[in-house]
Chains A and B, each alone.
Chain A
Amino acid sequence: MTSELTEPLLSVRALRVVIGGRHILHGVDLDVAASGVTALLGRNGAGKTTTVRGILGLVPRTGSVLLGAEETVRLATHNLVRRGIGYAPEDRGVFASLTVAENLRLAERAGAGEPDYPLVHELFPELKTRARQAAGTLSGGQQQMVAIGRTLLNGNRLIIADEPTKGLAPKVVTEVAQVLERAAEAVPVLLVEQNLALVRRLAAHCAVVADGRTVHRGPAAALLADADALRRLLGVGRHDAGTPAEAQPRTALEPTAPRPSAADEDRPAAAGAGKAAGTANTEATP
């Protein structure tokens, strides 16, 4: 079950998260390879987003999180991030009332060298033309570009992208995938993703969480080739009775497969995401 990673960049062991007296994570183990894309998979509510938020210290956590050789579990979020992490959260975390340029400027970091605007503008020319537009008026795809653009400014050691293709139109999904692929050539990426086609295309390694713990770690290709394991771990493949109905729409096998809500969601996101992101756990297992 364990993948043979030599010298992982990020090594998570026995990560536990308790929010409001409820155990959300019971012990997640995860290695992010020092190059390429590592995918974090799991059904809805399995604890993927909480794992990422736990790694970053956005929720109270215990366990061990090694970045390189350094234990970071006691670090405050901003100190950990300054060690070279770019984070594109699930809800994109774009500041709606700020302009595109201001959103990017917030991600600039003193001491991280000159911010790499040429790269961001090359990958997302739209961010340059829309620099003075309020981010809240952008489409979902454009907001995702802002979110990913912020992670590329600083020459980070690690990029964490939480469901970057969620709710995007198929064409935009392809665009985002290309950018992630290119980013991963230079920087290792931890990718939370439901879109297995995208995982197949990008990820070399993967880990699967279920009910707040790691249930599988290994090469991504091996898991994706194993229909039984896919059905058992992620509930996808055959539409058999054991598959939870709610898991189906968002675990499409192909990026072009019509997803019921995809087109609807690709509109200017509501500005009301608000501070809830700071406290709510979006993936609580009931």
Chain B
Amino acid sequence: MATIVLLTCTGLGLGALYFLVASGLSLIFGLMDVLNFAHGALLSIGAYGAWWAASGNLPGAGRSGFGFVLAVAFGTAVGTLAAVLLELAVIRPLYTRPREQILATVGVGLAAPALLSAIWGSDARTFPGPAALSGTFPLLGAAIPVNRLVLVAAALVVLVALRLFLGRTRHGLVVRAGVEDRAMVTALGIDVRKAFTLVFAIGGAAAALAGALGGLYFGSVDPGQGTSLLIFAFVVVVMGGMGSITGAAVAAVGVGLVQQFANYYTAAGLGDLAVVVMLAALLLIRPRGLTGRLA
């Protein structure tokens, strides 16, 4: 029982990470048809930003209490900024060349982690989390690491915030409409490119937050962290339906749990394998999984 509870909590924590990465990916692809291969890099940037700030480099930020919150906020802000820059400087000039947009994100996805290893080395760095978050708490006989709870809480907050944004604001309305038919949105007199920058900012913020909190989950940061999460995020995006936030949330939980349980109860690695095979199977069964827009 204790094992099942622990696996469930870990799976949920992992699912929370996936959701944070996939929600942005899904919105970006849904609205712009850009598969953002640099999304993992945004996560890494957020992780390093938070690590850098928490390691005492940012005045006021630190490894405990409010200082840690500030460090996470800093990492998220840096990731958001990087995402906005990516959209304005790399994606936007290639607006009429969709294939090159993907290629450019591939280039950025390769270059950004390399730059991180150039600056801080390619080895994993220990992530300085607050003592309060590194402990465990008892739940139904299992000792659950507190950081899982933090991740799930953060994902829930992002989920609610995104749903409110999409459902209640005019910008959210534009994004939802753009996911359906971009051309018609412009034909109503709306500059849809502003929405592009906006979804990149939102996606970058969520991914960077995932990076900053992922440091807690993994206990360390390394330049390739984001890229290795990216493929699982793709699975979540396809499963959840492009452009669908709720779908991404459900799929993220499913993928996280399947991965944890399969890895534990069968051979290690089989869970990861099951998930990527699931991606292929899903696309084959539902070839329109990538275009079925639910919003």
- Residues on A lying within 8 angstroms of B by beta carbon are 56, 58, 76-79, 81-82, 85, 87, 89, 93, 95-98, 102, 105-107, 109, 150, 271, 273-275, 277-279
1/0 per position for B171-215, CB-CB distance to A under 8 A? 001101100111111111111100000000000000000000000
- Check: B294 CB closer than 8 A to any chain A CB: yes
- Check: B272 CB closer than 8 A to any chain A CB: no
Nearest chain A CB to B243's CB is how many angstroms away?
Answer: 9
Nearest chain A CB to B266's CB is how many angstroms away?
Answer: 39
Tell whether, in the assembled complex, residue A58 and residue B187 are in contact, meaning their CB atoms are under 8 Å apart. Answer: yes
Asked, given contacts A105-B170, A274-B293, whether A89 binds B176 with beta carbons under 8 Å apart, the answer is: no
Which chain A residue shows the least CB distance to B194?
A78
Which chain A residue shows the least CB distance to B176?
A98
Tell whether, in the assembled complex, residue B173 and residue A77 are in contact, meaning their CB atoms are under 8 Å apart. Answer: no
1/0 per position for B273-295, CB-CB distance to A under 8 A? 00000000000000000010111
Nearest chain A CB to B120's CB is how many angstroms away?
Answer: 41
Which B residues are CB-close (under 8 A) to A278? Answer: 181-184
Q: 10 more A-B contacts (CB under 8 A) besides A77-B187, A95-B181? A: A58-B183, A76-B186, A77-B186, A79-B191, A81-B188, A93-B181, A96-B180, A97-B294, A98-B173, A278-B182
Tell whether, in the assembled complex, residue B176 and residue A97 are in contact, meaning their CB atoms are under 8 Å apart. Answer: yes
- Residues on B lying within 8 angstroms of A by beta carbon are 33, 170, 173-174, 176-177, 180-192, 291, 293-295
The number of inter-chain residue pairs (CB within 8 angstroms) is: 80
Bound complex: CA of A230 vs CA of B187, how far in Å?
A: 32
Tell whether, in the assembled complex, residue A275 and residue B190 are in contact, meaning their CB atoms are under 8 Å apart. Answer: no
Which chain B residue shows the least CB distance to A103?
B177
Which A residues are CB-close (under 8 A) to B180? Answer: 95-98, 271, 274-275
Which B residues are CB-close (under 8 A) to A95? Answer: 176-177, 180-181, 184
Which chain A residue shows the least CB distance to B180?
A95
Tell whether, in the assembled complex, residue B187 and residue A93 are in contact, meaning their CB atoms are under 8 Å apart. Answer: yes
Tell whether, in the assembled complex, residue A93 and residue B184 are in contact, meaning their CB atoms are under 8 Å apart. Answer: yes
Bound complex: CA of A79 vs CA of B170, how far in Å?
A: 18
Nearest chain A CB to B290's CB is how many angstroms away?
Answer: 12
Which of B183, B190, B191, B291 has the largest count of A CB atoms less than 10 A from its CB? B183
Which of A95, A96, A98 has the largest count of B CB atoms less than 10 A from its CB? A95
Tell whether, in the assembled complex, residue A97 and residue B293 are in contact, meaning their CB atoms are under 8 Å apart. Answer: yes
Can you give 12 A-B contacts (C-beta < 8 A)?
A: A76-B191, A78-B191, A81-B187, A87-B187, A89-B184, A95-B180, A95-B184, A97-B180, A102-B177, A273-B181, A278-B181, A278-B183
Tell whether, in the assembled complex, residue B176 and residue A81 are in contact, meaning their CB atoms are under 8 Å apart. Answer: no
Nearest chain B CB to A164's CB is how many angstroms away?
Answer: 15
Tell whether, in the assembled complex, residue B187 and residue A89 are in contact, meaning their CB atoms are under 8 Å apart. Answer: yes
Nearest chain B CB to A83's CB is how many angstroms away?
Answer: 9
Asked, given contacts A97-B293, A97-B295, whether A275 binds B173 with beta carbons under 8 Å apart, the answer is: no
